């Protein structure tokens, strides 16, 4: 039972940060400050009281409606909070309480924000990926483990190679396809490569492309949409990154040594 308590605390912490991620998802693409003003109802603009801003719980207690104007609150708000909380619990469960777990948790939160902004606006903002690349190089050099050899450090060289592999591959595709690949995707993969190394970023790109293609085919069949349908790539790359982070080592071992 006592083993259970740290995970409850991490879940609560993850949902509180998830609540802040909702603010980021709404405000970053609209060029609004993420600090000021405090959260408001998007319909009636009434500031949301602290007791109505408890992650997940407030949504349930208010029945998914604004207390003042009764406008529906998007189901995405509690979803993002739960998603971030679950990812945090997973990071601690997989990697324990360590400095690199903090960075992995940060990466997961960045991926959640990227996913929903890309879904809404088809952009991946530089304010997330550029600091992410810097954190990736610094943390990758100093404290991140190699996701495929968990007991050895990634190191500066592998971090830079990862950055160049992730960013470079997508940059080449962007040049060759004349704009078929967005600049945001390039920087996102540079960030993931810097933090996890070249093997991880290549696996991420493989998994992201595979799930993206499967989803695209699914859309074509079910909705009869042609090749012109534009599907944002960010959410699939985020999914690939998370799967690689948690199960990359197992997938790699299974593929090469089975």
Going from the C-alpha of 55 to that of each of 10, 20, 77, 125, the distances in angstroms are 13, 10, 8, 25
49 or 150: CB nearest Zn ion? 49
The interface mask with Zn ion, positions 118-157, x = CB under 5 A, is: ----------------------------------------
CB of 65 to Zn ion, least distance (A): 8
**Count of residues interacting with Zn ion (CB under 5 A):** 7
Q: Which of 41, 106, 202, 251 binds Zn ion (CB under 5 A)?
A: 41
69 or 217: CB nearest Zn ion? 69
The interface mask with Zn ion, positions 60-79, x = CB under 5 A, is: ------x-xx-x--------
Locus of tokens 């690689």? 244
68 or 143: CB nearest Zn ion? 68
Specify the stretch interacting with Zn ion by CB under 5 A; choose among 8-16, 40-48, 80-88, 235-243: 40-48
Burial class (CB in 10 A: 0-12, 13-18, 19+), 79: middle
On whether the CB atoms of residues 203 and 169 are closer than 8 A, the answer is: no
CB of 58 to Zn ion, least distance (A): 13
Does position 43 bind Zn ion by CB under 5 A?
Answer: yes
Q: Which residues bind Zn ion (CB under 5 A)?
A: 41, 43-44, 66, 68-69, 71
């Amino acid at each position: 039972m006592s083993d259970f308590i740290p995970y409850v605390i991490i879940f609560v912490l993850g949902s509180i940060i998830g609540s802040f991620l909702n603010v980021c998802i709404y405000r970053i693409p609209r060029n609004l400050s993420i600090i000021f003003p405090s959260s408001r109802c998007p319909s009636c603009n009434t500031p949301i009281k602290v007791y109505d801003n408890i992650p997940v719980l407030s949504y349930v207690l208010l029945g998914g409606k604004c207390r003042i104007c009764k406008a529906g609150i998007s189901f995405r708000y509690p979803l993002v909070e739960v998603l971030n909380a679950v990812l945090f619990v997973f990071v601690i469960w997989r990697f324990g309480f360590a400095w690199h777990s903090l960075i992995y948790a940060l990466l997961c939160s960045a991926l959640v924000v990227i996913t929903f902004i890309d879904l809404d606006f088809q952009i991946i903002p530089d304010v997330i990926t550029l600091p992410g690349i810097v954190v990736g190089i610094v943390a990758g050099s100093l404290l991140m483990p190699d996701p495929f050899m968990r007991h050895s450090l990634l190191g500066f060289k592998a971090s830079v190679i990862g950055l160049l592999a992730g960013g470079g591959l997508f940059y080449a595709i962007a040049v060759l396809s004349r704009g078929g690949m967005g600049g945001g995707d390039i920087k996102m993969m540079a960030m993931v490569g810097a933090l996890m190394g070249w093997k991880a970023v290549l696996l991420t790109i493989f998994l992201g492309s595979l799930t993206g293609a499967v989803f695209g085919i699914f859309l074509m069949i079910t909705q009869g949409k042609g090749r012109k349908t534009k599907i944002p790539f960010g959410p699939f790359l985020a999914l690939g990154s998370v799967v690689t982070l948690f199960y990359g080592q197992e997938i790699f071992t299974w593929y090469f040594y089975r």
